[in-house]
Structure 1
Amino acid sequence: MKLAEKFRSTEKPFYTFEFFPPRTDQGFSNLLSRISRLADLNPLAISITWGAGGSTKDRTLELASLTQKEYGIDTVLHLTCTNMEKGMVDEALRAAKEIGIQNIMALRGDPPRGEEYWIPTDPRFTHGLDLVKYIRSTPEFSDTFSIGVAGYPDGHADKSLSEDDEIDYLKAKVDAGADFIITQLFYDVDNFLRWVKKIRERGVTVPIIPGVMPIQTYASFLRLTKLCGTNVPTSLQADIDPLKHDDQKVKDFGVSLAVRMIRRLVDEGAIQGFHFCTLNLEKSVQRILESLGWTPGLSKVQTHNKLIADTPGSVIHPTTTSNPEFIVTPATATSTASNGLIPYLPVEGEIGKGEVNNAATWDEFPNGRFGDVNSPAFGSQDMWGGFGRLTAASTQWPPPRTAADISAICLRFLTSEVLSYPFSSSPLSLESHLILPHLKRLAHLGWWPVGSQPAVDGAHSSDSVVGWGPAGGYVYQKPFVEFFVGMDDVERLESKVRQMPKGSVDFLAGNNAGELRTNVLEGERNAVTWGVFPGQEIVQSTIIEQESFLTWKEEAFSIWTDWSSLFPPESPERTLLESIRDSRWLVNITHHDFKDPDALWQFLFEDVVDNAD
């Protein structure tokens, strides 16, 4: 059914859920059981995101087909139009029509790559407005779909237009045939209400659905608000800052904040529905809806937790884990005490049968590149992609013409002379400073590091740099490092690994051509971050295995392609970057001796002579 029709016939507050297609087969399968559970909460619809340039086209359509046809849930297909190969928009619309989807979210997507140097795009589409006009003007699709478009209460992230110009553009999309607006995430309710009033005064009458993204960790909150250009009220920052070293409390705060925001918007009378950006996580969304009393058929346990959540000063307290820190992805949220909180009691059947590695913990470490490939949220944060961010930051890096130029860019990032790197949109993490001399040495060698983790042997869970999880626990990390090297170094390192005692060092190396060299057997799972907490089983928050490495490898090499497309064809810069992409290997080395902080680095550097500082 078209959402425009459902909106008109729905009286009580409604809600929709947004999911993205997982990167792995395991994650995809487990997301289906997660969606099945969340479907019991009676969402009005669910939406499935579309990767930039159609990068997730097949997975998106497969997932949308299952939710629409197998689960019988009205599904909204996100569709971005820029950077799409010619004809892909038509293919996607025909496929959606064939599987019975009647709702499209028409989005611009990432801006054109490398401006005039990016060739394989469909010239018909440069803005979301173009997509709305095309659907409405094409007889094959004009009456098939209800169309949604994006709204930006805090302004678009690129800040290229004034608010009045942005509202004019939004009105143009509605005038062209859009039926509803779903907004970007926001936390300033006063500003949102002002923005809605201003839009209504311009004559826009279609439903406006606020985008709600519960805060999961302090680090992801900072990253996403910066990425989206979200306004953070001073009072909110003051409330969350004291909690930033306790990922348990941050998650609880995210739930209670969302509940307060939604209640106020409902009380104001201007909003009747909400769109939850789930990031493929379920616990926070479920807790929010239970606290609001919107979930059907609450069990006794759920009712008990809802009443507690409704009590001023009380929060529900789930089990918490976190994620590793990477040299280029500062994602660890540390943790201190959560005393006096009433534990969250999982409901029987809440965790789907057959899900691997304790599905109950997946929601508790929602960020980080590795995590667990079985989790539906694996890779959800997209810290390593996003061409728009690469384009915006590229002015910080001199145009590279030699391998030495790449090393210099890497070193400038490691020494904090610049705050981004092609493989990181965020500044160097505090945890990376613990091993900074070793990372700088790698850069001097021309082994460009992109990810790392220091050894940690039983640090307190409240440690301000490496701690995570509930208070009174201890956390552990096996050291690993990931970097780009040439073939000669791959062979040398692989030979060294073979000489090590079996099980002491894990080696993974892959190139852009799809070759893999490794001593890690398929199916072997190496927990590199884990925690021991009172009253809980050991929590393994980060696992490295072939599947996770190969998934990231594809994205890592695509960054070289994206970077090269900023420069003209056959230019020295593009030639260099494409040759690096095609000749270098991405190597991941994990040392299993987490009690010796120097073990990994001694293994790497024992026979290396260089001029590192």
Structure 2
Amino acid sequence: MKLIEAIEQHKRNFSHPFFSFEFFPPKTDQGFENLLPRVARLAQLKPLAISITWGAGGSTKERSMDLAGLTQKEYGLETLLHITCTNMVQGMVDDALREAKSRGIQNILALRGDPPRGKEEWMPVDPRFQHGVDLVSYIRSIPEFSAQFCIGVAAYPDGHPDKLVDEATELTYLKEKVDAGADFIVTQLFYDAEHFLGWVKRVRAKGITVPIIPGIMPIQTYSSFVRLIKLCGSSVPESVMEKMDSIKHDDQLVKDYGVQLAVETIQRITMDGSITGVHLSTLNLEKSVQRVLEVLQWTDANKPIHQHSQNRLIEEVKGDSARSISPSTAVDAARQGLSTLPKTDKEAGSGELNKADSWDDFPNGRFGDFKSPAFGVQDPWGNAVVITSEVLSDWGSPKSISDLTSLFLRHLQSEIATTPFSPGPLSEESQLILPHLEKLTKRGWWTVGSQPAVNGAKSEDIVLGWGPRGGYVFQKGFVEFFCGEKDVESIERKVEEKGGGWVHWFAGNWKGECRSNVPEHGKNAVTWGVFPGQEIVQTTIIERDSFLSWKEEAFSIWSTWASFHRPGSRERELLDRVRQEMWLVNVLHHDYQDHEALWRFIFED
């Protein structure tokens, strides 16, 4: 069903506004696999539609199409597939639209798209697709597509992130997209309800009458919130900033307030009935959006969400031991429309069955569980640095290895705020091991990630703490850096001869080679917490798949950085050579009770 028809149907049958969910295609196969049961569970809340994002530059188009196909055809959920102009030519647009049609998808969100990695400014590869309006016009110009698709477009209540034009011009562009054939509008997320309502009045005064669906993203962490409002240029009420600042050291309070703020925002903007639904960005997480809807009473809060389908059966693996269900079985069950899986009496391998709760408590960063549907993403832009002329100026024009060593040292010494691998200043936590990081970097081992060993710090500790108050947190020390192949060989010998079973390591290069002493399926928990009334929460692991996923991204950053320098320049040749010759190394010491164990191992002869 087309979304505008579904909206009208909802108005006739329900007294409360509709809601939709947005998901992104996970980076890893396991994450993709484990997202499916999560989507199936959230589907039990009866969203009007599911939205599937399309990565910058079309980088996730295959996974996006696969996920959208599953939600539409196998789950029976009306699916809104994002398609962007970025890196798209006419043939590619045609292929994407025809494939969407073949999968039963009837709703498209037509976007200009974000710049692909390595480009500061958006540049079209096909002059026919320079703006979102071009994509809308093209779809409407082809009878095969025009009849098939209901088209949505984006709008920006706080102004476009590029900030290239004023609001009046933005509204003119929005009117052009609607006049070209757009059926509805989905907005960028915002945190100022009153500002949004004023913007809606100005949109309507422009003669735009199609449905406006506001984008709502419950706050998950303080750091992602700060990054988000900076990148979006969002208007945030002073009262919200004051509240966030007062609770920023208690992750659970931040998540709770994120739910509260989302509820209050939705109640305010839907109060007069002119806004008839909202679009909830999940970040592939589950609990916060579920809580928002339960507080709003837009779903039956007393009805367990994890229920079996009345018309489906699940195959049980029977025997003398407890039942076990593999990740592949989880996917099969989800594809059959089941909302959950039977509980096991003991741990039954890896996957959604065992990790769902801890995956959702505190979003996974780049060292989170690679099986998590949210692996590697803390906000819509991931963890990578956004390269601008400002940061390029800070980084200078490196022409030698010593120039690069100097750049990484300047970041450690707070002379510059970022590096291509660090989106912000050195954290207070890393300051605790600063002398060690400086010593490594002066050696020519450029550090890009680390954490100190922690043995039972209070969860409310302003530097080391996380999670709810009244608990204790633990960390194993690790450090990650780039170095040459000879250094990798030296590290490997040292681990074998002096590691004594206490040290695990990974090393990888851009060619795809990987060295490690971690067993193939080994997993190293490096961050965990113990909190009142909860099981142990394990938020961070280091293992082969997560390391390899990050390794691919890390070496692509060298390519991105090089692309900002002209071909044949000394800077570009240096950065390309570094990408080809250096290795990314991660060294972990398991003795978290000895704060200096990792560093003694690394520096002692």
Tell me the SS of whatever aligns to 2:145.
coil
The amino acid across from 2:200 in the alignment is V
Whether the 8 Å CA contact 1:117–1:565 is kept in 2: the answer is no
**Larger displacement relative to structure 2 (36-45 or 529-538):** 529-538
Aligned match for 1:279, one of 276, 283, 297: 283
Report the counterpart of residue 158 of structure 1 in structure 2. Answer: 162
Alignment of 1:327-476 (within 5 A): 355-381=352-378, 388-389=386-387, 393-476=391-474
Report the counterpart of residue 549 of structure 2 in structure 1. Answer: 551
Report the counterpart of residue 3 of structure 1 in structure 2. Answer: 3
Whether the 8 Å CA contact 1:390–1:563 is kept in 2: the answer is no
Shift of 1:114: 6.2
Shift of 1:554: 1.0
**Separation in structure 2 between the aligned mates of residue 210 and residue 120 of structure 1, nearest angstrom:** 28
Shift of 1:126: 3.0
**Separation in structure 1 between the aligned mates of residue 118 and residue 593 of structure 2, nearest angstrom:** 46
- Name structure 2 gaps, 5 residues minimum: 307-338, 344-350
**Separation in structure 2 between the aligned mates of residue 213 and residue 162 of structure 1, nearest angstrom:** 25
Report the counterpart of residue 506 of structure 2 in structure 1. Answer: 508
Tell me the SS of whatever aligns to 1:267.
coil
Whether the 8 Å CA contact 1:82–1:108 is kept in 2: the answer is yes
The amino acid across from 2:563 in the alignment is S
Shift of 1:118: 10
Whether the 8 Å CA contact 1:372–1:378 is kept in 2: the answer is yes
Shift of 1:84: 4.2
**Separation in structure 1 between the aligned mates of residue 355 and residue 489 of structure 2, nearest angstrom:** 37
Shift of 1:85: 7.0
**Separation in structure 1 between the aligned mates of residue 31 and residue 267 of structure 2, nearest angstrom:** 33
Tell me the SS of whatever aligns to 1:476.
strand
**Separation in structure 2 between the aligned mates of residue 224 and residue 576 of structure 1, nearest angstrom:** 33
**Separation in structure 1 between the aligned mates of residue 296 and residue 119 of structure 2, nearest angstrom:** 47
**Separation in structure 2 between the aligned mates of residue 29 and residue 469 of structure 1, nearest angstrom:** 27
CA 85–479 in structure 1, closer or farther in 2 if over 3 Å, else same: farther
Shift of 1:468: 1.4
Tell me the SS of whatever aligns to 1:15.
strand
Shift of 1:41: 0.5
Aligned match for 1:590, one of 588, 591, 594: 588
CA 387–111 in structure 1, closer or farther in 2 if over 3 Å, else same: farther
> What is the RMSD computed on CA atoms of the aligned residues?
2.4
1:135-155, Cα deviation, whole Å (9 max, x unpaired)? 222344232211111111111
Tell me the SS of whatever aligns to 1:268.
coil
**Separation in structure 1 between the aligned mates of residue 541 and residue 236 of structure 2, nearest angstrom:** 33
Whether the 8 Å CA contact 1:220–1:367 is kept in 2: the answer is no
Confirm or deny that 1:70 pairs with 2:74. yes
Whether the 8 Å CA contact 2:418–2:424 is kept in 1: the answer is yes
Shift of 1:121: 3.4
| % identical equivalent positions | 62
**Separation in structure 1 between the aligned mates of residue 298 and residue 122 of structure 2, nearest angstrom:** 47
**Separation in structure 2 between the aligned mates of residue 390 and residue 95 of structure 1, nearest angstrom:** 35
**TM-score (normalised: structure 1):** 0.87
Whether the 8 Å CA contact 1:27–1:378 is kept in 2: the answer is yes
1:574-601, Cα deviation, whole Å (9 max, x unpaired)? 2221221121111111111111222212
CA 413–140 in structure 1, closer or farther in 2 if over 3 Å, else same: farther
**Separation in structure 1 between the aligned mates of residue 533 and residue 199 of structure 2, nearest angstrom:** 47
Alignment of 1:69-218 (within 5 A): 69-84=73-88, 87-111=91-115, 121-218=125-222
| Number of aligned residues | 562
1:206-244, Cα deviation, whole Å (9 max, x unpaired)? 111110000112222112111221111101112222211
**Separation in structure 1 between the aligned mates of residue 575 and residue 124 of structure 2, nearest angstrom:** 19
Whether the 8 Å CA contact 2:137–2:180 is kept in 1: the answer is yes
Tell me the SS of whatever aligns to 2:72.
helix
Report the counterpart of residue 322 of structure 1 in structure 2. Answer: none
The amino acid across from 1:24 in the alignment is T
**Larger displacement relative to structure 2 (229-238 or 375-384):** 375-384
1:278-330, Cα deviation, whole Å (9 max, x unpaired)? 0011111111111111114732899xxxxxxxxxxxxxxxxxxxxxxxxxxxx
**Separation in structure 1 between the aligned mates of residue 52 and residue 567 of structure 2, nearest angstrom:** 35
Shift of 1:68: 0.8
The amino acid across from 2:359 in the alignment is W
The amino acid across from 1:375 in the alignment is S
The amino acid across from 2:360 in the alignment is D
Report the counterpart of residue 258 of structure 1 in structure 2. Answer: 262
Whether the 8 Å CA contact 1:20–1:50 is kept in 2: the answer is yes
- Name structure 1 gaps, 5 residues minimum: 303-348, 608-613
1:40-86, Cα deviation, whole Å (9 max, x unpaired)? 10000001111111211221111111111110101111122223477
The amino acid across from 1:370 in the alignment is F
Report the counterpart of residue 492 of structure 1 in structure 2. Answer: 490
**Separation in structure 1 between the aligned mates of residue 221 and residue 587 of structure 2, nearest angstrom:** 28
